[in-house]
Amino acid sequence: MSTSTFRLHYIAKTAAGVPRDLVNTFISAKLHPIRPTVLIYNCTWVCDAKCTMCSNWKWGNRKEDLTLEQLEPVMDSPFWGAVENLNISGGEPTTRLDLPQMVEMFHRRLPRLRKIGINTTGLTPARAIPMLTKIVKFCADKDLLLSIRVSLDGIGDVHNQVRAVKNGFDKASKTIDAMQALAKEHEHFQFGIASTIFATNMEDAENILAWARTKGLDVVFNMLRFTDAMLHNKELQEKIGFRAREEEFMRTFFIDRVKEESVLSGQSFMYLHYADMIANGYHRTMPCPFQSQGLLLNPNGDLHYCENSQKIGNVLDASAESLYYAAENLRHRQHIKDEVCPTCLSPCQVNVGAMKQFVPYARFLKRAYAVKRDPARHIDTLPQPVGQ
Ligand SMILES: C[S@@+](CC[C@H](N)C(=O)[O-])C[C@H]1O[C@@H](n2cnc3c(N)ncnc32)[C@H](O)[C@@H]1O
Ligand code: SF4
Ligand code: SF4
C-alpha cells in the first residue's frame, strides 16, 4: 500500500487510543508507572550479515534464544495488555524459522496490538520471502498494521562492503522486489527500506535515495548510534563515530529530507530533530515513549527498559511485571531519564510519542514549516534544549 494510505490507517488507529493516552500520560506523570505500550523484541542475535556498524552478529547463539514454548507463558499475563506497538528485530529475525508462529503468538497475547514492525536484511530471499508473505497475509486477516523494512546501506558493492556479504545487494533486491509487489496488494502492509549512513557509505546516500525513488520505495535513514543492549557496538564508537565532516553532511542531508517530506510524516519529525541534535551539541528535544511506557526484550530473556538501560532482570527468573515495577529498577529508569535521555539518539517509536504530545507536536509543525520554507535558517530556529 502507499505510505500515505498506511499513514492514514495508522493515524486513525492512534486517534482511537487518544483519550486513553491522555489518561495514561496523566497517570504516568502523577500517580504510578503505567504498563508498557511499546515493546521491542530482539528475537535472536543470529545473523546473516557481518555489518561494520553493528556487532550483533558476533553474539548469535541459537541455544540461548527463548523458544516459543518459553516465550508464550511469559506473555500470558494482563501486564502486556496495553502493548500497542511491537517491533521484532535482532540479529536477523528471518533466521528464526518460527517467525510466523511468533507473530501469531503475539497477536494472541497482546489484545491491544495495533502495529507490528519487522526489520530484516532480506539477504536470504529463499527463506525470507515465503516467511514474510505468510506474516503479511496473517496480519491482513487480523486487521493488524504491518511494516517491514529491508536494510540497504548502499547500491551494489557499497552495500556488500557495509554488510560484508557477497552479492548482498542482489540478494536484498530480490526480497525488496517481492515485498514491494506484496505491499501493492495489501492495504495493511507498508513496505520500505532502511539505511544507516556513516563514513563508509556516506558518498552513496544520495544514490540510495535516487534508487529508492526510481523504484517508488519508501526509505528511512537511521541516525548512527551506539548501544550495547540493542547493537552491541559501543566499542565501535571511537572508530566509526561521526567526525565534523559526517556531521555537516548528515545535518544538511536530514534538512533536505525535511524539505521534501510531508511535515505530517513521522520521518520529517525525526529528521528535523536529528539535524537539531547535530547542530546543538546533541541535546535531545524529541519525546520517547520508552521513558515511561516501553520495554526491550532480548533473545535470552534479558529485559531492559530501553536500548540504553541496564538489564533489569530476566523473564525466565521473574515475571516481567515484577521486574518492570521493582522500586530499584524504577529508580534506574529515573536515572536514565535524568542522565541518558538528554543526549540519546534513539529513534525508537518516536512518532508514537510525538503525536500524543499535542503542544510540543504543534510547535514542531510550526518550526518544520519554517525550516521547509527557508532551510538556510535552520540553525536560527533551534529550540532550547529540554530543561533549560
Ligand atoms: C540491528 S538491525 C536488526 C535487523 C536486521 N538484521 C537488519 O539489519 O535489518 C535493525 C536496524 O538497525 C540498523 N543499524 C545497524 N547498525 C546501526 C547503527 N550503528 N546505528 C543505527 N542503526 C543501525 C540496521 O541498518 C537496521 O536497519
Ligand atoms: S545490522 Fe542487522 S544484519 Fe547487520 S549485524 Fe546488525 S543485526 Fe546483523
Ligand atoms: S535513553 Fe533513549 S531510548 Fe531510553 S528512554 Fe531515554 S530517550 Fe528513550
pLDDT at 325: 97
Q: Tell me which ligand sits closest to the C-alpha of residue 286.
A: 3
Nearest to 120 by CA among 66, 185, 212, 49: 49
pLDDT at 362: 80
Topology (CATH) of 3-241+294-354: TIM Barrel (3.20.20)
* C-beta contacts of 330-333 below 8 A and 24+ residues apart: 330/33, 332/305, 333/291, 333/305, 333/309
pLDDT at 19: 44
The whole-angstrom separation of Cα 354 and Cα 264 is: 11
- Of 23-27, 215-219, 239-243, 296-300, the range with the lowest mean pLDDT is 23-27
> Under a CB-based contact definition with an 8 Å cutoff, are residues 56 and 232 in contact?
yes
Instruction: Summarize pLDDT for 145-198 with one digit per residue, the tens.
Output: 999 999 999 999 999 999 999 999 999 999 999 999 999 999 999 999 999 999
Say yes or no to pLDDT of 388 above 60: no
DSSP string, 286-350: S--THHHHEEEE-TTSEEESSTTSPEEEETTTS-HHHHHH-HHHHHHHHHHHHHTGGG----TTH
Q: Tell me which ligand sits closest to the C-alpha of residue 233.
A: 1
Query: How much is the mean pLDDT over the chain?
Result: 90
288 lines ligand 3 (CB under 6 A): yes
Q: Tell me which ligand sits closest to the C-alpha of residue 225.
A: 1
Q: Who wins on pLDDT, 74 or 265?
A: 74
Average pLDDT in the 25-29 region?
49
pLDDT at 384: 67
pLDDT band, very low/low/confident/very high, at 387 (cuts 50, 70, 90): very low
Average pLDDT in the 274-302 region?
94
**Pocket, ligand 1, Cβ cutoff 6 A:** 47, 53-54, 56, 89-90, 92, 119-121, 151, 194, 196, 222, 224-225, 231, 233
pLDDT at 240: 97
Fill in the amino acid letter for 200: T
For residue 7 the three cell numbers come to: 499513514
Average pLDDT in the 313-321 region?
98
Adjacency order of strands within the sheet including 218-222: 218-222, 189-196, 145-151, 115-120, 85-89, 38-42, 294-297, 302-304, 311-314
pLDDT band, very low/low/confident/very high, at 382 (cuts 50, 70, 90): confident
Instruction: Tell me the whole-structure pTM to 2 decimals.
Output: 0.91
Nearest to 229 by CA among 173, 166, 295: 295
Say yes or no to pLDDT of 230 above 80: yes
- Kindly report the protein residue whose alpha carbon is nearest to atom 6 of ligand 3: 341
Distance 56 CA to ligand 2 centre (A): 6
Cα 376–Cα 381–Cα 387 angle in degrees, nearest 5: 145
Percent of the chain predicted with pLDDT > 70: 88
Domains of the chain, residue spans: 3-241+294-354, 243-287+357-376
Nearest-atom number in ligand 3 for the CA of 348 is: 3
Nearest to 146 by CA among 175, 103, 178, 181: 103
Average pLDDT in the 108-131 region?
98
- Kindly report the protein residue whose alpha carbon is nearest to atom 4 of ligand 3: 306
Nearest-atom number in ligand 3 for the CA of 340 is: 1
pLDDT at 332: 98
Q: Tell me which ligand sits closest to the C-alpha of residue 273.
A: 3
Distance 308 CA to ligand 3 centre (A): 6
The whole-angstrom separation of Cα 247 and Cα 278 is: 6
193 lines ligand 3 (CB under 6 A): no
Average pLDDT in the 46-56 region?
98
- Kindly report the protein residue whose alpha carbon is nearest to atom 6 of ligand 2: 54
